Structure 1
Amino acid sequence: MNKSLFVLAVLATLSAPAFAHQAATPFYGGQTAASGDLHVEFAIRDGGLRVWVRDHAEKPVAATGKVTLLLGGAKSEITLRADGDRLVGEAPVKTADKVVAVLALSAGGKAVSARFGQEALVQPALNAGASVGQGLFAANCASCHGASLRGTDQGPPLLHAWYAPGGGHDDTQVLKVIGNGTQGHMWKFGDMPKPEGVKAGQEKDILAYIRAMQVANGIGSAPAAAMPNMDGHAAAWGACRALTGWGEADTLDRGQISGGCFPLM
């Protein structure tokens, strides 16, 4: 057994309460799971980790704990600290990385454990339009949606099944959002302003880049899940689990991701 597989086996057998295995409502572009009467949302940011714990009424629950992180075959433990209604931890991780994370938390007087994972970002060969769009995205969109399109503390991820054609954000709608901005309606990030650096007609190049990245990372190859109701509660979740490279990871093989997933503003 190689080192990576050994560490994975160790992570899978950590002494902890039952892992969370049900989807919950995402607010900040993270992976979600439910454990008992608590919801856990977990997000990887460039250089750090974010964790939110909420009850079924979606009210924040104070928590403490740590994350056991498997990255590049090495295991590390990241202690989380309170930052408003979330927990944060610094870690040598990028949103484009292949990662397994096991959370061991104490929240509301209860021990809570949840396991998450993501695949490494796939960077495809781009045609001329998508290549132009890549530069435009980096200059105008990445500060909020992330260089890897997996979100930041300022904006949600775009590598998600709901943003694939047929997932609630078809090409016409995405072009409109890029050209005009939009009011926030699915997230806690607020409104998306009109990207001032994008000239008329360049929306199509940005869209071409987003679509190329989605396809390369498994988005749009199967029917998308339903979008959440406007009150933030999910109408349906299952189809997006195998599409995003995100979710509570029993295995990291694409198409075998299980657990929760998350939902452009």
Structure 2
Amino acid sequence: MKPGYIVAGALALGAAIAAYQFTTFGSADAQTAPAAGAALVQVVVPETLSPVAQIGKTGFDAICAACHGQNAAGRNGMGPPLIHKIYEPSHHGDESFQLAVQRGVRAHHWTFGNMPPVEGLTRADVVAIVGYVREMQRANGIN
């Protein structure tokens, strides 16, 4: 392979990565950055939810949405979106949500800081909330 092709290929790859980062994360220009507290991802909301997920949505809206945003879309500067492949069941199983509520979570995937334990939620509450999150994930192609 000629050296010129290697350099051209590397430049094209670098340009593609830069374009992807710009379109995915926005420019460094403060005018295009999402406002503090703004949703971090677009979420498709299913037309109907199961009875358990309806109960879970009520709990989520009351407790979790303050940080994780409406419909689990995350909030800029506050908390990550749960409608994200990082939280798919094969990576973060349902029990990881139980433990997060009981013990809190050290920041490890995102730069939002640590999540403190959440007082006042029972295991059954968290089961319903996870049911809601999982239905929302499936509606958004996260299985």
Q: TM over 0.5, yes or no? A: yes
Residue-by-residue CA offset, 1:234-259 (whole Å, 9 max, x unaligned): xxxxxxxxxxxxxxxxxxxxxxxxxx
Unaligned runs of 5+ residues in structure 1 are 1-19, 23-33, 43-50, 54-63, 66-79, 81-86, 97-117, 221-265
Structure 1 runs (4+) deviating above 4 angstroms are none
Does the C-alpha gap of structure 1 residues 199 and 177 become closer, same or farther in structure 2, counting only changes over 3 Å? same
Q: Could you say which residue in structure 2 is the equivalent of 1:161? A: 85
Unaligned runs of 5+ residues in structure 2 are 1-14
Q: Could you say which residue in structure 2 is the equivalent of 1:177? A: 100
Q: What does residue range 1-265 of structure 1 map to in structure 2 within 5 Å?
A: 21-22=16-17, 34-35=18-19, 40=22, 42=25, 51=26, 53=28, 64=29, 80=31, 88=33, 95=39, 121-152=44-75, 153-166=77-90, 168-220=91-143
Q: Give the whole-Å Cα distance in 1 for the aligned partners of 2:142 and 2:135.
A: 9
Letter in 2 for 1:191: N
TM-superposed CA distance for 1:178, in Å, is: 2.7
TM-superposed CA distance for 1:120, in Å, is: 5.5
Q: Name the SS for the 1:202 alignment partner.
A: helix
TM-superposed CA distance for 1:197, in Å, is: 3.6
Does the C-alpha gap of structure 1 residues 89 and 207 become closer, same or farther in structure 2, counting only changes over 3 Å? closer
Q: Which has the higher contact order (CA 8 A, sep 6+)?
A: 2
TM-superposed CA distance for 1:127, in Å, is: 1.6
Residues 179 and 200, structure 1, Cα contact 8 Å, conserved in 2: no
TM-superposed CA distance for 1:89, in Å, is: 6.2
Q: Give the whole-Å Cα distance in 2 for the aligned partners of 1:212 and 1:135.
A: 14
Specify which structure has the higher proportion of strand: 1
Specify which structure has the higher proportion of helix: 2
TM-superposed CA distance for 1:95, in Å, is: 4.0
Q: Could you say which residue in structure 2 is the equivalent of 1:73? A: none
In the alignment of these two chains, the number of paired residues is 125
Residues 150 and 157, structure 1, Cα contact 8 Å, conserved in 2: yes
Does the C-alpha gap of structure 1 residues 89 and 210 become closer, same or farther in structure 2, counting only changes over 3 Å? closer
TM-superposed CA distance for 1:217, in Å, is: 1.3
TM-superposed CA distance for 1:145, in Å, is: 0.7
Residues 43 and 71, structure 2, Cα contact 8 Å, conserved in 1: no
Residues 98 and 123, structure 2, Cα contact 8 Å, conserved in 1: no
Q: CA RMSD in A?
A: 2.8
